[in-house]
Amino acid sequence: MIKIKNDLPYYIKKAEQNDKYGDGIIAFPDDYVVLDLETTGLCAGRDLIIEFAAVKVEGGQVVDTFQSLCDPGFPIPPAIEAITGITTEMVRNSPNPRSVLPDFLDFVGNSYIVGHNVLFDVRFITASAGTFKNTYIDTMKIFRKLHPSFPHHRLCDMVEYYGKRNDSAHRALSDCLATKECFDALKEDATRLYGDTFKFLTSIK
Q: What is the pLDDT of residues 69-94, one digit of tens each?
A: 999 999 999 999 999 999 999 999 99
Stretch 163-173: mean pLDDT, rounded? 94
Task: For the domain covering 23-203, report its CATH number.
Answer: 3.30.420.10
Mean pLDDT of the chain: 95
Active-site annotation holds for 147: no
Reply yes or no on whether the pLDDT at 62 is more than 90. Answer: yes
Reply yes or no on whether the pLDDT at 14 is more than 80. Answer: no
How would you class 54 by CB atoms within 10 Å of its CB: exposed for 0-12, middle for 13-18, buried for 19 or more? buried
Identify the active-site residue in 116, 152, 153, 170.
170
Domain ranges of the chain: 23-203
pLDDT grade for 61, boundaries at 50, 70 and 90 = very high
- Answering whether pTM is above 0.85, one says yes
